[in-house]
C-alpha cells in the first residue's frame, strides 16, 4: 500500500540554519579553549535568558542528547553509562550524554570541529520536565567541581496560581547572586529585558512556522520541524534566531502560494504526541510520506513557544513560560490541549510515542489516547519505543502500527 | 476456470497462503515455516496451493500481509495483518466482534463494528510474553516438542501459576517449580494461563470474541481457558492460522467487506 519513492521535499533554508548553528558551536568551542567567555549549561526549557543577560554562552545538553540519538551514536554510548550505575530505564539523553563524556567522543567533533562538549563554568537546571535533568547535571558537577543551581518546578499543574508564581519568581531571582559571582558581572535588568524581548520575538516566529502547517497541504512536517527547531532551542535570545526564522517562513509561505506540499500528494494529516524516535527520524519521515501521510504537528515542537515572555516583568515571563508548558501540566490540561491541536491542524490520526526512558513525556499511560479518541472520533496508535535507546524500539511492530492506522481511516479500502 | 485470488501471510514463524475464487470461496490453503527466504517460501506455498486446487491458474491478484509482506515478489499490494485478520473473521461472521490474534511474535486485539469497520486495535508491547515465542521458550526449558504442549495442558489436574511478565523470568520461575517437584502438565497449564492473562490485560474484550492465529490453531486449550476467564464462549474460525491469509485473498478479490461504506 506504500509508495516507495521519496515524496519528501527538502527545505532550502536549512543551509542557513546549519551555518548559524555551526557558529554557535564554534563560539562555544573557542570559549572552552580560551576561557575568555563564561559557559553555562542549561536545560532546554530552563532560564536561558537570565544566563545570557550575564554574558554566558549557553550550551544545552539535551540538544546534544538529540544529536547523539539522531546520529545513532547513542547505541554504543548508553551502555557505558549503564556500567557506571545509571540504569537503562532512566532518561536515555542522560545515559547517551554521560556515555559520550566517558568515551570522549561526540558527533560535534566531526560536525563542527569541536574538541568536545564545552566544559561549563556553571550548571543551571529546571526540573519542569523531569528530575533526570538535575541528576544528569549532578554527574558533571561531581566530575568537574562546578557549581550547580536550578529551579525546582512543581509538576502535573492545572492552573498556575499566584502562589506558584511567587515561588517560581523567587527561585529565579535567587539565582542572581550565584550568577553574578560566576560571571563576574552585576545583574543588569535592562539587559535581561532585551534578551527576553529577543526570545519572545523568536517564539512568535517559531509559532508562525508551526502554524503554517495548518495549511492543507502542509508545507512542513513534524520531522522537518524537529530539525528546524534548533535555533528556537539553542539560539533563542540571540539575533541569529531572529535572523533565521523569517527566511524559513518566507520559504514555507512560498510553498503555500505555489500549492507545494511537504509530502507530495498529502492525503492524511497526523499528529505526533511524545518524543521523537531520534534514530528513526528519517525512516519515519520516509515511511509516512510513502503512505501519503503528512505528520503536520506535534506537542514536542510546540513546546518551544513561550507566549508569556511577552509579559512586562521578565521574571514573571520566564517563570510562567517555563511552567505553563504542556509537560508540566495536569492530565486534564493535556487532554484539552490535544483536542485543540486536533481541531487546529485538522488531524486524521494521532501517534502516541510511549518512550520507555521518558515517562514524563509519554502522555499515553493514563488512558488519555482512548478518552481523546472517544471524544473526537480521531483514531490513534501507541508505539513503544524510546527517544535514543533503539534497543527499546521494534521496527516491524511500529511500521505495522503506522500502516494499520492509515488503513483504518475513513475512505480507505 | 474462473479468476483466482491469492492472499499470503508471512508471519514470524509460518507462511500461510490461501486461494479464493470470485465469490470468496476458499479453493486451497498451503503453509510452510517462513524460513529465511520469504520470497521463495511464498512462491512454494503458491505452487502447492495451485496444485491442491487442481492446477489453478496464476492468481489474478495477490495481496501480501504479515511481517514479510514486502518480500513477496508476486504480490501487487500489501496490507497489515490487522486489516487482514479483521476481514478474514468478518467474512464468516458478519457481526460486531473483538478479534484476538495470538501469533508467533505478537498479539493483536482488533475491534470491528456491526458493519465490519475497524473501530480500534491494540498490539502487545514489544515484549514477546504471551505470544507463541513465549510457549516455544517454555517448551525448550521443559525439553518438550512444542506440539505436545496442548495435550499436556489438557491432562493437568492443577495449574502452576507463573507470575512473571517476562519470558526469561518465567523460565527461571519454572526452574523453581521443577525443583520443588511440580508436575510438567501443571507448569504447561500455567504457561497457557499466562498467555491468556497477557491477552486479557491488553483489552476488556467486550461482545463476541473470536480467536485466531497459529497459537490458537495448535493449542485449543488456550481458547478454553480464555473462554472460562471471560465467562462466555470464544469463537474460532475455520482454519484459524489462515485467517490473515484469507483476509488478504478476499482483499485481492475486491471483497472489502471489512471497510465497506456505511449504507446511505
Confidence grade of residue A40 (pLDDT, cut at 50, 70, 90): very high
Residues B214 and B182 in one domain: no
- Put simply, the answer to whether A1 touches B78 (Cβ < 8 Å) is yes
CB pairs under 8 A between A and B: 40
Residues B112 and B178 in one domain: no
The residue among A132, A158, A203 whose CA lies nearest residue A358 is A132
Q: Please indicate, yes or no, if residue B264 is contained in any of the structural domains.
A: no
Please give the Cα distance from B147 to B160 (Å, whole number): 20
Residues B195 and B215 in one domain: no
Give me the residue from B83, B120, B125 closest to A407, CB to CB. B83
Listed by start position, the domains of chain A span 15-189, 192-408
Residues B88 and B141 in one domain: no
Give per-residue pLDDT as tens, A208-231: 999 999 999 999 999 999 999 999
For residue B26, give the H/E element and its range: strand B26-33
Residues B97 and B16 in one domain: yes
State yes or no: cis peptide before A217, omega within 30 of 0: yes
Residues B14 and B110 in one domain: yes
pLDDT of residue B130: 83
Strands ordered across the beta sheet of A148-151: A57-59, A39-42, A122-126, A148-151
CATH architecture of A192-408: 3-Layer(aba) Sandwich (3.40)
Q: Please indicate, yes or no, if residue B251 is contained in any of the structural domains.
A: yes
Residues B120 and B87 in one domain: yes
User: With 0-12 CB in 10 A as exposed, 13-18 as middle and 19+ as buried, what is B170?
Assistant: buried
Percentage of chain A beyond pLDDT 90 is: 96
Residues B78 and B91 in one domain: yes
pLDDT of residue B64: 98
For A385, phi then psi, to 5°, come to -170, -150
Please give the Cα distance from A16 to A2 (Å, whole number): 33
Please give the Cα distance from B65 to B77 (Å, whole number): 9
Structural domain boundaries enclosing B156: 132-199
CATH 2.70.150.10 fits A15-189, yes or no: no
Residues B112 and B231 in one domain: yes
Preferred mutation among B66, B115, B123, B206 to probe A, highest tally of A CBs within 10 A: B123
> Per the structure, how many domains does chain B have?
2
The overall pTM is greater than 0.80: yes
Q: Of B154, B181, B199, which one is at a domain's C-terminal end?
A: B199
Q: Please indicate, yes or no, if residue B226 is contained in any of the structural domains.
A: yes
Contacts of range A103-110, beta carbons closer than 8 Å, 24 or more positions apart: A103/A76, A103/A77, A105/A73, A106/A64, A106/A67, A106/A68, A106/A73, A107/A67, A107/A68, A107/A71, A107/A73, A108/A25, A108/A64, A108/A67
Average pLDDT score over residue span A274-283: 97
Q: What is the CATH number of the domain that holds B173?
A: 3.30.420.40
Please give the Cα distance from A296 to A270 (Å, whole number): 6
Preferred mutation among A362, A371, A382, A403 to probe B, highest tally of B CBs within 10 A: A403
- Put simply, the answer to whether B123 touches A413 (Cβ < 8 Å) is no
Residue holding cell 540504569?
Answer: A87
Residues B107 and B220 in one domain: yes
Q: Of B179, B199, B219, which one is at a domain's C-terminal end?
A: B199
pLDDT of residue A257: 98
Q: Please indicate, yes or no, if residue B183 is contained in any of the structural domains.
A: yes
Q: Which residues contact A149 (CB under 8 A, 6 or more apart)?
A: A122, A123, A124, A125, A175, A178, A179
Average pLDDT score over residue span A36-44: 97
Amino acid at each position: 500500500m506504500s509508495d516507495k519513492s521519496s515524496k519528501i521535499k527538502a527545505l532550502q533554508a536549512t543551509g542557513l540554519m546549519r551555518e548559524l548553528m555551526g557558529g554557535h558551536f564554534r563560539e562555544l568551542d573557542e570559549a572552552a579553549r580560551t576561557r575568555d567567555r563564561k559557559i553555562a549549561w542549561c536545560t532546554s526549557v530552563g532560564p536561558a535568558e537570565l544566563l545570557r543577560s550575564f554574558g554566558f554562552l549557553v550550551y544545552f545538553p539535551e540538544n546534544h542528547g538529540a544529536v547523539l540519538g539522531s546520529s545513532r551514536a547513542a547505541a554504543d554510548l548508553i551502555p557505558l553509562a549503564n556500567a557506571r550505575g545509571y540504569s537503562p530505564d532512566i532518561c536515555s539523553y542522560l545515559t547517551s550524554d554521560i556515555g559520550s563524556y566517558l568515551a570522549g567522543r561526540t558527533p560535534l567533533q566531526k560536525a563542527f570541529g569541536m574538541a568536545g562538549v564545552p566544559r561549563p563554568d556553571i550548571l543551571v537546571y529546571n526540573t519542569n520536565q523531569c528530575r533526570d535533568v538535575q541528576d544528569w547535571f549532578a554527574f558533571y558537577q561531581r566530575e568537574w567541581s562546578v557549581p550547580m543551581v536550578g529551579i525546582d518546578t512543581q509538576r502535573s499543574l492545572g492552573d498556575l496560581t499566584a502562589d506558584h508564581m511567587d515561588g517560581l519568581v523567587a527561585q529565579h531571582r535567587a539565582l542572581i547572586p550565584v550568577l553574578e559571582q560566576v560571571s563576574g558581572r552585576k545583574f543588569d535588568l535592562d539587559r535581561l529585558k532585551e534578551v527576553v524581548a529577543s526570545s519572545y520575538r523568536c517564539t512568535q516566529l517559531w509559532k508562525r512556522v508551526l502554524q503554517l502547517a495548518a495549511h492543507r497541504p502542509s508545507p512542513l512536517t513534524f520531522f522537518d520541524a524537529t530539525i528546524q527547531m534548533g535555533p528556537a532551542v539553542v539560539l533563542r535570545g540571540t539575533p541569529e534566531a531572529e535572523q533565521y526564522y523569517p527566511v524559513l517562513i518566507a520559504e514555507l509561505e512560498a510553498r503555500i502560494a505555489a500549492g507545494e506540499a511537504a509530502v507530495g500528494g498529502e492525503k492524511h494529516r497526523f499528529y505526533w504526541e511524545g518524543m521523537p524516535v531520534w534514530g528513526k527520524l528519517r525512516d519515519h519521515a520516509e515511511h509516512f510520506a510513502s503512505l501519503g501521510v503528512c505528520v503536520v504537528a506535534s506537542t514536542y515542537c510546540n513546546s518551544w513557544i513561550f507566549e508569556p515572555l511577552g509579559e512586562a516583568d521578565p521574571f514573571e515571563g520566564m517563570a510562567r513560560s517555563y511552567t505553563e508548558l504542556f509537560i508540566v501540566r495536569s492530565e486534564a490540561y493535556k487532554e484539552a490541549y490535544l483536542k485543540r491541536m486536533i481541531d487546529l491542524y485538522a488531524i486524521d490520526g494521532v501517534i502516541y510515542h510511549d518512550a520507555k526512558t521518558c515517562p514524563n513525556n509519554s502522555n499515553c499511560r493514563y488512558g488519555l489516547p482512548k478518552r481523546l479518541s472517544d471524544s473526537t472520533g480521531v483514531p490513534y496508535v501507541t508505539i513503544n519505543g524510546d527517544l535514543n535507546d533503539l534497543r527499546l524500539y521494534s521496527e516491524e511492530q511500529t511500521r505495522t502500527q503506522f500502516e494499520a492506522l492509515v488503513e483504518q481511516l475513513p475512505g480507505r479500502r | 476456470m474462473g479468476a483466482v485470488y491469492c492472499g499470503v501471510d508471512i508471519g514470524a514463524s509460518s507462511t500461510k497462503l490461501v486461494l479464493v475464487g470470485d465469490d470468496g470461496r476458499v479453493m486451497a490453503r498451503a503453509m510452510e515455516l517462513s524460513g529465511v527466504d520469504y520470497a521463495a517460501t511464498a512462491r512454494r506455498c503458491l505452487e502447492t496451493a495451485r496444485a491442491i486446487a487442481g492446477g489453478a491458474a496464476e492468481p489474478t491478484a495477490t495481496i501480501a500481509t504479515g511481517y514479510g509482506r514486502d518480500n513477496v515478489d508476486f504480490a501487487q499490494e500489501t496490507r497489515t495483518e490487522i486489516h487482514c485478520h479483521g476481514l478474514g473473521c468478518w467474512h464468516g461472521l458478519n457481526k460486531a466482534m473483538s478479534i484476538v490474534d495470538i501469533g508467533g511474535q505478537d498479539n493483536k486485539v482488533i475491534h470491528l463494528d456491526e458493519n465490519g469497520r475497524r473501530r480500534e486495535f491494540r498490539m502487545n508491547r514489544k515484549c514477546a510474553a504471551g505470544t507463541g515465542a513465549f510457549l516455544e521458550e517454555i517448551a525448550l526449558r521443559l525439553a518438550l516438542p512444542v506440539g505436545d504442549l496442548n495435550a499436556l495442558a489438557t491432562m493437568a489436574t492443577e495449574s502452576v501459576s507463573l507470575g512473571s511478565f517476562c519470558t526469561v523470568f518465567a523460565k527461571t520461575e519454572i526452574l523453581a517449580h521443577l525443583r520443588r517437584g511440580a508436575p510438567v502438565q501443571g507448569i504447561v497449564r500455567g504457561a497457557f494461563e499466562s498467555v491468556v492473562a497477557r491477552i486479557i490485560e491488553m483489552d476488556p474484550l467486550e461482545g463476541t470474541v473470536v480467536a485466531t492465529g497459529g497459537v490458537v490453531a495448535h493449542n485449543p486449550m488456550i481458547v478454553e481457558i480464555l473462554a472460562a476467564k471471560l465467562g462466555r464462549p470464544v469463537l474460532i474460525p475455520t482454519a484459524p492460522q489462515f485467517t490473515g491469509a484469507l483476509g488478504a485473498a478476499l482483499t485481492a478479490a475486491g471483497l472489502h467487506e471489512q471497510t465497506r461504506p456505511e449504507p446511505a
